[in-house]
Amino acid sequence: MGRVISCPAHELRRQRREWALRHAHVLGSVAVLFVAAGAVLTVGLMPVVPHPLVFYVLGALHLGLVGAWWYLVNAWFLAHQREAVRHLMG
Protein backbone atom coordinates (compact mmCIF):
# COMPACT_ATOMS: atom_id res chain seq x y z
CA MET A 1 0.00 0.00 0.00
CA GLY A 2 1.03 3.54 -0.61
CA ARG A 3 1.72 6.09 2.01
CA VAL A 4 -1.41 7.75 3.35
CA ILE A 5 -1.12 11.52 3.50
CA SER A 6 -3.32 13.29 5.96
CA CYS A 7 -5.79 15.88 4.85
CA PRO A 8 -3.86 18.79 6.40
CA ALA A 9 -0.75 17.80 4.43
CA HIS A 10 -2.74 18.03 1.19
CA GLU A 11 -4.14 21.36 2.26
CA LEU A 12 -0.71 22.68 3.27
CA ARG A 13 0.75 21.58 -0.07
CA ARG A 14 -2.10 23.30 -1.94
CA GLN A 15 -1.65 26.51 0.03
CA ARG A 16 2.11 26.48 -0.52
CA ARG A 17 1.63 25.98 -4.27
CA GLU A 18 -0.92 28.82 -4.48
CA TRP A 19 1.30 31.09 -2.42
CA ALA A 20 4.33 30.30 -4.61
CA LEU A 21 2.35 31.10 -7.77
CA ARG A 22 1.18 34.42 -6.31
CA HIS A 23 4.73 35.36 -5.31
CA ALA A 24 6.60 33.81 -8.24
CA HIS A 25 8.18 37.10 -9.32
CA VAL A 26 9.64 37.73 -5.87
CA LEU A 27 10.76 34.12 -5.44
CA GLY A 28 12.46 34.32 -8.83
CA SER A 29 14.20 37.56 -7.91
CA VAL A 30 15.48 36.10 -4.65
CA ALA A 31 16.64 32.96 -6.47
CA VAL A 32 18.54 35.12 -9.00
CA LEU A 33 20.22 36.99 -6.13
CA PHE A 34 21.26 33.71 -4.49
CA VAL A 35 22.61 32.40 -7.81
CA ALA A 36 24.53 35.64 -8.28
CA ALA A 37 25.97 35.31 -4.76
CA GLY A 38 27.03 31.75 -5.58
CA ALA A 39 28.64 32.89 -8.82
CA VAL A 40 30.52 35.67 -7.05
CA LEU A 41 31.74 33.21 -4.41
CA THR A 42 32.82 30.75 -7.08
CA VAL A 43 34.59 33.27 -9.28
CA GLY A 44 36.14 34.99 -6.30
CA LEU A 45 37.36 31.85 -4.57
CA MET A 46 38.65 29.78 -7.49
CA PRO A 47 41.66 31.89 -8.53
CA VAL A 48 42.55 33.00 -4.99
CA VAL A 49 42.90 29.56 -3.43
CA PRO A 50 44.66 27.13 -5.81
CA HIS A 51 44.12 24.11 -3.59
CA PRO A 52 42.19 20.89 -4.35
CA LEU A 53 40.20 21.40 -1.15
CA VAL A 54 38.60 24.53 -2.62
CA PHE A 55 36.02 22.38 -4.42
CA TYR A 56 34.76 20.99 -1.12
CA VAL A 57 34.56 24.50 0.31
CA LEU A 58 32.65 25.68 -2.77
CA GLY A 59 30.29 22.73 -2.48
CA ALA A 60 29.63 23.52 1.17
CA LEU A 61 29.04 27.20 0.36
CA HIS A 62 26.64 26.35 -2.46
CA LEU A 63 24.81 23.87 -0.24
CA GLY A 64 24.56 26.56 2.42
CA LEU A 65 23.09 28.99 -0.11
CA VAL A 66 20.50 26.46 -1.24
CA GLY A 67 19.60 25.66 2.35
CA ALA A 68 19.31 29.34 3.22
CA TRP A 69 17.03 29.93 0.21
CA TRP A 70 14.86 26.94 1.15
CA TYR A 71 14.58 28.12 4.76
CA LEU A 72 13.80 31.67 3.65
CA VAL A 73 11.01 30.51 1.33
CA ASN A 74 9.43 28.28 3.99
CA ALA A 75 9.67 30.93 6.70
CA TRP A 76 8.25 33.53 4.34
CA PHE A 77 5.35 31.23 3.48
CA LEU A 78 4.55 30.56 7.13
CA ALA A 79 4.80 34.27 7.95
CA HIS A 80 2.22 35.10 5.27
CA GLN A 81 -0.25 32.22 5.72
CA ARG A 82 -2.08 32.02 9.03
CA GLU A 83 -3.97 28.92 7.88
CA ALA A 84 -0.70 27.13 7.15
CA VAL A 85 0.41 27.57 10.75
CA ARG A 86 -2.91 26.15 11.93
CA HIS A 87 -2.44 23.10 9.68
CA LEU A 88 1.05 22.52 11.06
CA MET A 89 -0.20 22.77 14.64
CA GLY A 90 -2.69 20.03 13.94
29-61 residue pLDDT tens: 999 999 999 899 888 887 877 788 888 888 898
pLDDT of 2 strictly over 90: no
Confidence of residue 7 (pLDDT cuts 50, 70, 90): low
Task: Return the ∠ at Cα 64 (arms to 15 and 48), rounded to 5°.
Answer: 145
Report CA torsion sign: 3, 68, 21, 19: positive
Q: What percent of the chain has pLDDT over 70?
A: 86
Annotated domain spans of the chain = 7-89
| Whether residue 22 has pLDDT greater than 60 | yes
Task: Give the residue from 9, 4, 16 showing the smallest Cα distance to 75.
Answer: 16
CA dihedral 41, 67, 14, 12 (to 10 degrees): -150
What predicted TM-score, i.e. pTM, was given to this entire model?
A: 0.71
Residue 10 confidence (pLDDT) above 70: yes
Q: Count Cβ atoms below 10 Å from residue 76 Cβ, excluding itself.
A: 15
Long-range (24+ apart) CB contacts under 8 A made by 2-7 are none
